[in-house]
Structure 1
Amino acid sequence: MDGRRSDTRERIRAVAMELFTERGYEKTSLREIAERLGVTKAALYYHFRTKEDIVASLSDDLRRGIDDIVSWADATPAGPERAQEILTRYGALLHGLGRDMVRFWHENQPAFRELGFGVGLRYQFRVLADLMTAPEHAPLAVFHARQALLALSWSISMMGDLPLDDDECYGAASAIASDILRRM
């Protein structure tokens, strides 16, 4: 039974993401999400009471993923290998969440700010860059680390209009991010 509940939650999240991406977060209602799923609003409420709850669950996935990267990095000696592995793990996390999810985060920044999710994610982003440049944290190295991380997130989110599949976008973004990282 638990597996079915989890599958339903994932379907709700996926459909909500589709609608948020198509129509925008503000213009999408819970009723529309339920209709697209072919369920009642009551069935939807069983899993998520509000749109904010859906977005929070999606943000939690990203935060937990970054927390896992930070925990791994804290237990790993600093250096170029760790920096590259942080970049690789961050890229895999974003790729695993999907291009629509990452694009949604970028295109709905006001909703994220209003819901209070953006501050924590920005802090985690800076922590990753700091871990990539430890122990010196030279300002130019931090700049390059942040640019490498941004290359992954922005490339995945901003290239939806190109006739590339998710794997092609991820591969190209990873190569560009690694090139930036080598400049540190």
Structure 2
Amino acid sequence: MSERADGRRTDTRERIRATALEMFTTQGYERTTLAEVAERLAITRPALYHHFRSKEDVLTSSYNRVLPELAELTESLQPAPAPWHRRRDALDRFAALIGGEHGALLVCARVNEHALAGLPAAAELLHHLDALARSLGPGDDIDGRIRGRLALSTLVMAESRGAQLGGTAEQRAAAALALARELLNRQ
């Protein structure tokens, strides 16, 4: 296969992944079909199915890229509870993941957490996100666990609810990071 054909295949695969993740986030994982994704991209269903056999395949292909980074973040917080500077650094790194190439997947996973909980392929990603939330908390009590989860959810909300929150993406991300830091800055 020529490089040009190989590049087109990769480009189509990435376009499908990006569009599907965006639709899963805005419409819901359960309510989005791959046929709708193909229609949005103006490609045939067989072309889409050539790249991904199922919605779960779309998610799985994305997980493998972010799982090592999530595992590294969680490991950097061990033993928990980690000191504030390590929790702050991990939170900042997670915010960078959301603002970067993994943002669509992380937002999709959090927004569709209930729907994805039953998918075997999603179990590892959700496990890593839960472990990170627990490790980010300023303590291993209920308050600490809630704060860790809220901190991550705050960053996700800034990315997923732009129309409701207003401002620019940068303003929302900065405000969410400041609030998430406040939630975690309990000594």
Aligned partners of 1:106, 1:131: CA distance in 2, in Å? 17
In the alignment, is residue 183 of structure 1 matched against residue 183 of structure 2?
no
Root-mean-square deviation (Å): 3.1
Query: Relative to structure 1, is the Cα distance of residues 133 and 115 closer, same or farther in structure 2, using a 3 angstrom cutoff?
Result: closer
Q: Normalising by structure 1, what TM-score?
A: 0.75
Counterpart in the other structure of 1:105? 109
Q: Which residue of the partner structure matches residue 123 of structure 1? A: 127
User: Normalised by the size of structure 2, how large is the TM-score?
Assistant: 0.74
User: Structure 2 CA distance, aligned partners of 1:38 and 1:59?
Assistant: 26
Tell me if structure 2 keeps the 8 A contact 1:70–1:128.
yes
Cα offset, 1:29, TM superposition: 2.6
Contact kept? 2:95, 2:155, Cα under 8 Å = yes
Superposition deviation, residue 146 in structure 1: 3.5
5 Å-filtered alignment, 1:1-184, equals: 1=3, 2-73=6-77, 78-96=82-100, 97-98=102-103, 101-116=105-120, 119-132=123-136, 137-139=139-141, 140-184=143-187
- Distance verdict in 2 for CA 1:168–1:31, change over 3 Å: same
Q: Separation in 2 of the partners of 1:83 and 1:110?
A: 26
- Check conservation: 1:148, 1:177, Cα contact below 8 A: yes
Distance 2:140 2:151 in 1: 15
Cα gap change, 1:83 to 1:10, in 2 (>3 Å):
same
Say which SS state the counterpart of residue 28 (structure 1) adopts: coil
Report if the CA contact (8 A) 1:152-1:170 is conserved. Answer: yes
Q: CA deviation at 1:169?
A: 1.5
In structure 1, stretches of 5+ residues that fail to align are: none
- What letter corresponds to residue 118 of structure 2 in structure 1? E
- CA separation in 2, counterparts of 1:102 and 1:124? 11
1:125-156 Cα offsets, whole Å, 9 max, x none, are 3432454469xx54244443343233223443
Q: How far 1:158 sits from its partner (Å)?
A: 4.0
- 1: distance between equivalents of 2:116 and 2:129? 15
Give the 3 Å change call, closer, same or farther, for CA 81–103 of structure 1 in structure 2: closer
Counterpart of 2:84, as a letter, is P
Residue identity over aligned pairs, in percent, reads 35
